[in-house]
Amino acid sequence: METRLLRSFVVLAEEEHFGRAAARLHIAQPALSQQVKSLEQQVGTRLLDRSTRRVELTAAGRLLQERARQVLAVLERTSGDLALLGAGRGGRVRLGFVGTATYELLPTVARRVRAELPGIELDLHGELLGPALLDRVVADELDVAVLRPGGGPTPTGVVVEELRREPLVLALPAGHRLAGQEKVRLSDLVGDPLVAHPSGRRSTMQPMVLAACHAAGYEPEVIEVGETGTLVAFVAAGLGVGLVPAAVRALRLDGVVYRPLAGPPVPVPLALALREGAGPAVHRVADVVRALTR
């Protein structure tokens, strides 16, 4: 059943007059009459009652009018959605954030995409660890990942680009002996347990944090946690101190204060990962992340 015939029939059903319908369709009246006959032959039943001067729909005609409107509406929406997809302004993008960027960056990216790219549906995943994020991009389970890059090689088929570097800051219990200082030296934390992200390949943060501690002569007992929110909660509970990227200051909990480090800053990178050959919508969302991090 041709879409052209359905459109002509719907217009005729609305106008209830061959002349007015033909004028609206910008075709000759005999051509419209031929289209209706062709449609009736295709469906195998009479759609119009031509016994009166007015065009009246048969029961079959009324049913086809209802269904044809639905079909044409779906086709129109589909055409619009496809145009948005082709322009990178529609579709679904799966976006993951490392825990240390979740609280600062995830809300701002979501708001910006809703405002500027309302046709794109974001599937957001927060509080993930960097290696797991990269694995998900490789497995095509995420389209874009914001992560802390490790020192290993970039997997084949994935592009990783650095977005920015930010300094490490201290998260201290509000009642800590050093909480009132404007800046804190890592060497002054000797004897304090350190709450940190997991060791090994599970996280890229612990090696960077421990390297900074060792350089300052601070060899802490490490309490490992899986999520940044848990890390800060442990600090609030007085179980230890934390050394986190500055973006974590967006996570405000009662009982925690953040203090910059004395001396030269200890920067940690934040990066964007996506698959090679990603679609236009993915690149538009990646552009939003870039704009909000640089």
CA distance 146 to 253: 23
Are residues 14 and 81 both part of a single domain?
yes
As for how many domains the chain has, the answer is 3
Are residues 130 and 264 both part of a single domain?
no
Q: ∠97-98-100 over CA atoms, to 5°?
A: 120
Domain that holds residue 104: 91-164+269-293
Are residues 254 and 173 both part of a single domain?
yes
Are residues 51 and 174 both part of a single domain?
no
pLDDT at 44 over 80: yes
Residue ranges of the alpha helices (H) in the chain? 3-15, 18-25, 29-43, 59-86, 99-116, 130-138, 205-215, 228-236, 280-293
Return the sign of the alpha-carbon dihedral for residues 164, 133, 278, 76: negative
pLDDT digit string (tens) for 233-278? 999 999 999 999 999 999 999 999 999 999 899 999 999 999 998 9
Q: What is the pLDDT at residue 52?
A: 55
Are residues 279 and 257 both part of a single domain?
no
Which of 51, 86, 121 is the endpoint of a domain? 86
pLDDT at 81 over 70: no
Residue 179, SS3 per DSSP: coil
CA distance 238 to 21: 78
Are residues 172 and 264 both part of a single domain?
yes
For residues 23-33, average pLDDT: 89
For residues 206-219, average pLDDT: 94
Are residues 210 and 260 both part of a single domain?
yes
Are residues 264 and 171 both part of a single domain?
yes
- Candidate from 76-90, 118-132, 154-168 with smallest mean pLDDT: 76-90
List, in order, residues 6 or more apart from 50 with CB less than 8 Å away: none
Burial degree of 7 (CB within 10 A; 0-12, 13-18, 19+) = middle
For residues 178-186, average pLDDT: 96
**52 vs 4, which has greater pLDDT?**
4
Q: What is the pLDDT at residue 261?
A: 96
Which of 59, 86, 113 is the endpoint of a domain? 86
Return the sign of the alpha-carbon dihedral for residues 41, 43, 45, 47: negative
Q: How far is CA 268 from CA 34, 76, 101, 181, 211, in A?
A: 73, 49, 12, 23, 12
Burial degree of 24 (CB within 10 A; 0-12, 13-18, 19+) = middle
CA distance 294 to 291: 6
Residue 272 in tokens: 């964007």
- CATH number, domain with residue 101: 3.40.190.10
Question: What's this model's pTM, rounded to 2 decimal places?
Answer: 0.70
Are residues 8 and 130 both part of a single domain?
no
Are residues 160 and 273 both part of a single domain?
yes
Are residues 102 and 67 both part of a single domain?
no
Residue 102 backbone phi and psi in degrees, to 5: -60, -45
For residues 179-200, average pLDDT: 94
Q: Which residues pair with 92 in a beta bridge?
A: 121
